[in-house]
Structures are given as C-alpha cells and as structure tokens.
Amino acid sequence: MLLILRKMKRSYLDNSDFRKYLFYALGEMVLIVIGILIALQIDNWNTATKEQETLWSYLRSIARNIDSDLLAVNDVRAKREETYEASARTAGFIVEKTSYDVAEIMFAYNALARSQELLFFDPNTSGYEALKSSGNLDEMQGTDIERLLYDYYETVSRITHAEQSHNEYVRMLSLQVINHWPKEMAEWEFILPRSLAADRFQALQSSYQELLNNINTISLYRRARSIEGLLSDYEELNRLGSAYIQLVESGMMNFDDTIHGILDGKYVPSSGLGYPNVITDGQVAWHSYGFLAPSSTNYRIAGRSVEKPGGDGQREAFYFDSFEQSDNSLHIAYPGGADWAAISIYVQGSSTTRPSLDFSGFDKLVLEVKGDLGGETILVHLKDKDDPDDGSQTNIELQLSDQWQTFEIDLADFQNADTSSLHLVLGFLFFEEAQSFSVRNATYVKSR
C-alpha cells in the first residue's frame, strides 16, 4: 500500500498541469500580497496628503490672522510714535515756561490726552490655538516655519505683557492728574482755550503752569516716551509676521534667500550697532533715538517770546511746532535770530556719559530733503561721544531746491566724528538766517 501511495505522489509531482497550477497559485498569492502592500502605501500616502492639506489649511488660517495682526500693530505703533513726538515737543518747549499762548495750551492738552490714551494690541490667535490643539504641530518639527511661529507668538506675548504694564501705570497717573487738578481752572478751560476771553486766559496762566509742571503730568509725558522696548517689539513682530506670510504664500516650510533677507534685517539694540534708518517717511526711529534743540542765548531779531526755565526773559530758538511730522516727512522750521541753533537726533540711553552706537559698518549717510522755498543752504553734522560741544565738528553744506533731492554723504567727510561711537547721529546747524525744510528719509548705508 505504501508503495502505491509513493507512486501516486510521484505521478502528481511529475504532472505538468499540477505544477502549472501550483505556480499560478503562488503567483496569485504574491500578487495579493503586493496589492495589499500597494493599497497600504496608497492609504498611507492619502493619509499623509490629507494631513498635509489639513496642516496647510491651519497655516493659511494663521497667515490670515497674522495679516490682520500686522495692520492692528502698525496702527498702535503709529499712535504711540505720534504720542511720543507730541510729548517730547511739549516737554521740550512748553512744560517749564511761565506763560503760554493759546496754541501752546492746545498742543499741551493734545499731548496730555494722547499720553493718557490706553492702547492695546489685540492679536488674533485663533488659528494658532486651533493648530496646537489639532495635533498637527508634530508635522512641522524641525522646520524653519515652526521656529518662526514660536518666535512670532513669543513676541506677541512679550508685547501683551509690556502693554498691560504700561497701561496700568498710565491709568494710575491719569487718576492722580485728576485728583490734583488746579482748583481755579475748569477742565474745559484747558481743553478749549480758544473759547476763553483774553482776560480769563491770562488769569489762568498760573493754573496752566501748575497743571503742566505737576509731577504726575510730567510723569505722564515721560511715560509716553519710555516705550523704546515696545517700539522695537512692534518692529520685530512686523518682520516676523511678514516673513511668515511670505513663507506660506510660497508653500515652503524652510527659508529661502528672500525670507532670509527679511529676517536678516532684525535689529538687536543690545548689539551696540547703530540702527541705520534714522528717519523713515518723516518718522524718527524713537526706539533708538531722541532729539534736542540746543541754541545760544544771544538773539539779534525778535521772535515769539519763549522764556527759558526760571523765567529769565531769554528766548528759545525753537518752538513746539518747529519740529513736526507732516505729509510723510519731518518738517523743520527755524525762525532765525540766534548766534547758533541746532536740531540734534541723538542716541538714547541711561549712561552717565553720552551713550553711543557703532556705525563703522556703514560708509554713507543718505538724506532725502527739500526746501520750503528752494535755495536753502543747510549744514549737516555728526558727533561721537567724546566730541566737545564747541562748534568744532565738521559741517557738510547742502544746497536745497523746492523738489525732493537725495544726497549721499561719505561718512569719512565728517572728519571729527568717530563712527565707531556716534552719539549724535544726525544734526542740522543754523545761524541767524531763518530756514525751513523737510526730511523724508535719513539712512546709513554700506555701499561696498
């Protein structure tokens, strides 16, 4: 019997039809396995594609949020810069006087009202919060866009906390101003001085002086100018947000040269390097610079009478409206009459010596200016931290027309100024002749 079975087995194995069937069955099994693997691969690809589409849907939603954020933050930034300038001009030319005209009181009120305004940047974080709760953040791990988003929202958080602290202090000072309001003056008499009879306006001079020289009023003006950190963060947020929007619009998760170009412009105040854009579209870079208007005390022609602190009868060379932003440019009006006078944009800082920044990486100062009438001659100068205030600085003469002109001045031409430690980054010097002109842009550049 065993012998018969062995013969039958050999017979089947030797049968060609059986072998064909066996190979066919094995082939079918292989095809099924391959099909399953392909199906799994397609399913995985479909899943990954859907996850990528979902991720990009979140990223585009965040880009829309950031676009609206940048509009909002630029609006807040512009208001804070306007408040800064108004406060600085009030403190510099009005606060410590003993008598005022109607225009000065109106301007002082406007500056005080601006200083009391509670400004908030209210970011839209809905897209970012939705992304975090979706679990899709892992798909961005290690990419440039992940780090960019983190930096953006970390800056948002820093701005939020700084604004909260600033506004709380402003609210407290505003209450103190109200509590110490001069008894002899109604609030509307400060707000609407034009409505007053001349004798009433004169009778209120001591009340105006009491209000404007009150420590709380002065503190409000100072607080409006202590926002350098906020202005820097607004600028940084704008840069980060612009880079993110560009990245999403390009459909990329990692930086290219265009994105690097946007982000490489980041200015780090602690670096000790000078911020190149001193004036942009008439706006002084208040996060880095302040302004002074020094002058001699010897006048040959009459102007508006503006007493210096102490009421000694001496006149100032400039008034609160001698230095103001108008039509995307900075208008400077010197009424004339002094032995000398200057508008000086300088490096701010808390140092007991004159703070300075390093501009040695630049080789030109580019100015875009025009005269009110044409034919004006202006003198431009710089000073390092050790330069004496004795008029020995190098002055570069520019002849203006009544049209915008761009002047490129080699920094080497300012022979007395060490550009590695500039304190006064842009100065205009005047003598007896009146001058009025506008500056649209003032920028340090590297041309080689």
Cα separations (Å) of 24 from 9, 17, 21?
Answer: 20, 10, 5
CA-CA distance, 414 to 360, in Å (whole number)? 12
Phi-psi region of 93 (alpha: psi -120 to 50; beta: other; left: phi over 0): alpha
The rounded mean pLDDT for the chain is 86
Q: Return the pLDDT at 399.
A: 96
Which two three-digit tokens encode residue 38? Answer: 């392909």
> For the ranges 23-32, 87-96, 125-134, 164-173, which has the lowest average pLDDT?
23-32
pLDDT bracket for residue 18 (50, 70, 90): low
pLDDT bracket for residue 136 (50, 70, 90): confident
Encoded amino acid at 90, one letter:
T
Sorted by where each begins, the domain ranges of the chain are 50-266, 277-445
Calculate mean pLDDT across residues 204-219.
95
Residues 6+ away with beta carbon under 8 Å from 214? 177, 180
How much of the chain, in percent, has pLDDT values that exceed 70? 85
pLDDT bracket for residue 434 (50, 70, 90): very high
Calculate mean pLDDT across residues 343-371.
90
Q: pLDDT tens digits for 43-52?
A: 555 555 566 6
pLDDT bracket for residue 10 (50, 70, 90): low
Encoded amino acid at 436, one letter:
S
pLDDT bracket for residue 11 (50, 70, 90): low
Q: Return the pLDDT at 53.
A: 84
Secondary structure of the chain as H, E, C letters: CHHHHHHHHHHHHHCHHHHHHHHHHHHHHHHHHHHHHHHHHHHHHHHHHHHHHHHHHHHHHHHHHHHHHHHHHHHHHHHHHHHHHHHHHHHHHCCCCCCCCHHHHHHHHHHHHHHHCCCCCCCCCHHHHHHHHHCHHHHHCCCHHHHHHHHHHHHHHHHHHHHHHHHHHHHHHHHHHHHCCCCCCCHHHHHCHHHCCHHHHHHCHHHHHHHHCCHHHHHHHHHHCCCHHHHHHHHHHHHHHHHHHHHHHCCCCCCCHHHHHHHCCCCCHHHCECCCEEEECCEECCCCEEEECCECCCECCCCCCCECCCCCCCECCCCCCCEEEECCEEEEEECCCECCEEEEEEECCCCCCCCCEECCCCCEEEEEEEECCCCCEEEEEEEECCCCCCCCCCCEEEECCCCCEEEEEEHHHCCCCCHHHEEEEEEEEECCCCEEEEEEEEEEECCC
Residue for token pair 């100018």: 225
pLDDT bracket for residue 388 (50, 70, 90): confident
pLDDT bracket for residue 300 (50, 70, 90): very low
Q: Return the pLDDT at 314.
A: 42
Q: Return the pLDDT at 42.
A: 64
Calculate mean pLDDT across residues 31-48.
65
What would the CATH number be for the domain defined by 277-445?
2.60.120.430
Q: Return the pLDDT at 168.
A: 97
Q: Return the pLDDT at 206.
A: 95
Phi-psi region of 417 (alpha: psi -120 to 50; beta: other; left: phi over 0): beta
pLDDT surpasses 50 at 312: no
CA-CA distance, 131 to 129, in Å (whole number)? 5
Q: Return the pLDDT at 302.
A: 35
pLDDT surpasses 90 at 205: yes
Q: Return the pLDDT at 296.
A: 81
pLDDT bracket for residue 9 (50, 70, 90): low
Q: pLDDT tens digits for 144-179?
A: 999 999 999 999 999 999 999 999 999 999 999 999
Q: In what order do the strands lie in the sheet with 377-384?
A: 289-292, 341-347, 422-430, 377-384, 396-399
Q: Return the pLDDT at 311.
A: 40
Calculate mean pLDDT across residues 181-185.
95
pTM score > 0.85 for this model?
no
Cα separations (Å) of 338 from 86, 91, 299?
Answer: 25, 21, 5
